[in-house]
Chains A and B, each alone.
Chain A
């Protein structure tokens, strides 16, 4: 990953460990992602990815439970976007505002686009698309908090 603007996020960065930072404890990861909602999104995204990959492995098509799980992820993402927009509205600004706004637009679109694209598929590869969306949601949360680590909600 490219250089992160905010050095506060650097030591505990989940995805970049160039420096010999103390990343051995559980808490060090929370330096970057330190809120209930984003943590829930990461867990939910990874769980959705696991569930969807299992469906792919079992040769299942898209199903209602899988779509419901995508819906839950979508709601969580919208809540997170709402929290960040509220923070922006209160006058706070991150260093990379353009990037943040890009993420705010992209994040809620990911599950919707994946659901639509996956529903067009009549084979096991529909759930595989959903798995990608789950992973992307988790990665987006980590990146979001590298851009703007002040989000504590």
Chain B
């Protein structure tokens, strides 16, 4: 798949975890939505639940999914990544389903949810975010394959890059092994 001697990217720009590199931005935006969706749903459910119960419960559900995605992307362990894939998928399905539902049956939604009209009230970020999340997770879980072949050179380069990646080196072989097992690579 790739030359054993050449890492896929320069090590300096290579993300060490799902929370570094582009993941840093992803976790930040997810955290923002986790906070805003759950806080808003909390206020709405506490103060005027009967005004739009379906909308508020969906907002609360969206908030929970965002919190789950934020935390698991920030942790980045193999288990956390699997949960992150599930929550990003649920999120994508949710924004598509609720977006369509809110357009087809506006009476159910006297007040909007995060996912109403495919997230148009939030600049369609709720629609784009899970796509980027899944792309990021997919790309990241592919890496250990290439990295397994170049694990020695990658670790050497990692040491040269400085202490910032030191904590990751210990975890890398475990993650690589885990991925080979789960991928069922033959």
Interface residues of A (CB under 8 A from B): 1-3, 15-16, 96, 98-99, 102, 106, 113-114, 117-118, 120-126, 128-129, 132, 136
Contact = CB atoms under 8 A, between A and B. Distances in A.
A123 B43 CA distance: 37
A111 to B, nearest CB: 12
B103 interface: no
Contact of B112 (A3, A15, A118, A126): A3
21 contacts: A1-B112, A2-B113, A3-B112, A98-B43, A98-B46, A99-B43, A106-B35, A120-B24, A121-B21, A123-B12, A123-B20, A123-B21, A123-B24, A125-B20, A125-B23, A125-B24, A125-B25, A129-B24, A129-B28, A132-B32, A136-B32
B47 interface: yes
A125 B43 contact: no
A1 B22 CA distance: 27
Nearest to B29: A132
Contacts of A126: 24
B39 A102 contact: yes
B25 A132 contact: yes
B24 A114 contact: no
A128 B24 contact: yes
Interface string B91-133: 0000000000000000000111100100001100000000000
Nearest to A103: B39
B20 A2 contact: no
B170 interface: no
Q: Chain B interface secondary structure, helix, strand, loop or mixed?
A: helix
A117 B70 CA distance: 13
Interface residues of B, number: 28
A132 B28 contact: yes
B182 interface: no
Nearest to B27: A117
A125 B111 contact: no
A125 B121 contact: no
A139 B39 CA distance: 16
Interface in B35-63: 35-36, 39-40, 43, 46-47
B25 A129 contact: yes
B13 interface: yes
B164 interface: yes
A118 B27 CA distance: 11
B157 to A, nearest CB: 14
Nearest to B51: A3
A117 B43 contact: no
Contact of B43 (A102, A106, A128, A136): A102
Contacts of A118: 24, 28
A128 B25 contact: yes
Given A123-B20, A132-B29, A136-B32, A3 B111 contact: yes
B4 to A, nearest CB: 25
Nearest to A122: B164
Nearest to A114: B28
